[in-house]
Amino acid sequence: MTLARSGRPETEVVFDPSTYLGGVPFEAITRLRRESPVVWVDEIPVLGWPAGPGFWLVLRHSDVESVLARPQLFSSSAGATQIRDPATPQALGYVRQMMLNMDPPDHSRLRRLLTRSFMRRAVCQLEDRIRGHAQAICDRVLTGPRGECDFAKDVAADLPLLTLSDVLGVPQQDRWLLFDWSNRVIGYQDPDYASSAVFDAAEGTPIARQALELRPTRGNDGRMPDPRTREGMPDLYAYAHLLAEEKRRHPGDDVMSILLAQVDDDGGQVSVAEFENMFWLFAVAGNETLRNGLPGACIALLEHPDAQDDLRAAPELMPGAVDEMLRWWTPVMTFRRTATADCELGGQRIGAGDKVVVSFISANRDEAVFAAADRFDIRRQPNPHLVFGYGPHFCLGAHLARTQMRALFAEVLARTSCLAFAGPPAYLRSNFQRGVKRLPITWTA
């Protein structure tokens, strides 16, 4: 067992969500990847969560791909896709209704319906609107010859919400509900996010007010109910239910209206229950990921002022630069599978039923695939990063995420001559999302 400088086992340092308050432990991750690329991690009790059975952490790019490409052997459904096991069999049954936690063929049906709903016309329309949203945010924040702002809160938070409102057909005045919901789900290990309540009911639609009446509060133990159970998110489910009814009555041109109107290969339709789960998944997967990816990308530019200048001089470098920003930051650090049979991976014997956790943050710095992997290089080519996963669950929002990043940084860089840190960033306490809660910056026009 290798010990970190702190004297704790490196695997424990990498697992502990509190580690990430001080940044990603790249030194430990790199050493583990070189010395024991598939390594057993004990799940110590953390932050009031009991100890778990432990898991295999997969650190090499090729092994991560190999796990994600074989859903029959490494299942998303058996124990779902988070490191922590759902607390009860009921809770497991509940999360398995989401496509993220399904295996083929159940997964394939919903995936096909959803892919079809992102029709070319719908996507072109979304792209135009994203560019408009990025302009509006910059009009609001980057005014005058110079200034200071919190890039995470003032710039990055709103773009995914505005985009998701368009995708889900959520009225814009309700969009901060999505912010609170994804904070509660992703930030349950962080006291700032666990009971997020930014949305102001007075500004919302009647549907929002109705749903808000069900918002849970802290229990006697001071904790919010587990957000990975249906009981933990009654306000989200109420909202999704009311929205689905509304969209069946009055379809819009949003992706979810198209989805609800579709007929599958057996002549059936997406059920309201399926819609509700899809809504949950999009509200969380399409929001927090990008809200962390955008400030992470900004940090890359702040630490590399030459890249800022290069992009201002040659905006055509932006698509490649965005992929490098994504690789360098890697907003989603891990995902989990469960082995369905005894097997071998990276020289380790894996037992049936073992948890297998792939590390994107490690795979994206694997020197076997990326030359000078720690270097931020906006001209890196090719760049086969695994930021959006791999295989049948490859991120459905990858194109939308890239479009939002390109649109926002094109605007920000065109309107500024210099971006710089105005203080240290504050990071999220999580071993799943590489989150930025605050990013103070100064900018000069």
Binding interface with ligand HEM (CB under 6 A)? 68, 76, 81, 99-100, 111, 167, 281-282, 285-286, 289-290, 293, 331-332, 335, 387-389, 393, 395-397, 400-401
Q: What is the C-alpha radius of gyration for the chain, rounded to an integer number of angstroms?
A: 21
Nearer to ligand HEM, 75 or 195 (CB): 75
CB-closest chain residue to ligand HEM: 397
Shortest distance (Å) from residue 201 CB to ligand HEM: 25
Distances (CA, A) of 252 to 196, 239, 259, 349, 383: 30, 17, 11, 52, 38
155 vs 285 by CB, closer to ligand HEM: 285
Q: Measured from the CB of residue 286, what is the shortest distance to ligand HEM in angstroms?
A: 3
For residues 262 and 113, the answer to whether their CB atoms sit within 8 Å is yes
Complex with ligand HEM: residue 99 or 208, whichever CB lies closer: 99
How far separated are the first and last CA of the chain, in Å rounded?
52
Of 178 and 212, CB closest to ligand HEM: 178
Cβ nearer to ligand HEM, comparing 133 with 215 = 133
Instruction: Take residue 166 and report the two structure tokens written for it.
Output: 């368009």
**Comparison of 36 and 289: residue with beta carbon closer to ligand HEM:** 289
Give least dist CB 389 to ligand HEM, A. Answer: 3
Tokens of 211: 């749903």
Question: How many angstroms separate the CA atoms of 331 and 435, rounded?
Answer: 7
Q: Minimum distance between the CB of residue 83 and ligand HEM, rounded to whole angstroms?
A: 12
**Quick one: which of 283, 262, 251 has its CA closest to 109?**
262
Take residue 332 and report the two structure tokens written for it: 């989603």
The nearest distance, CB 236 to ligand HEM, in angstroms, is: 15
State the minimum distance, in angstroms, from the CB of residue 439 to ligand HEM.
16
CB-side neighbour CA atoms (13 Å) of 352: 4
Closest separation between CB of residue 284 and ligand HEM, Å?
9
Residue among 184, 189, 158 at smallest CA distance from 49: 189
Cis before residue 105, ω within 30 degrees of 0? yes
CB nearer to ligand HEM: pick between 109 and 184:
109
C-alpha span between 243 and 414 (Å, rounded): 38
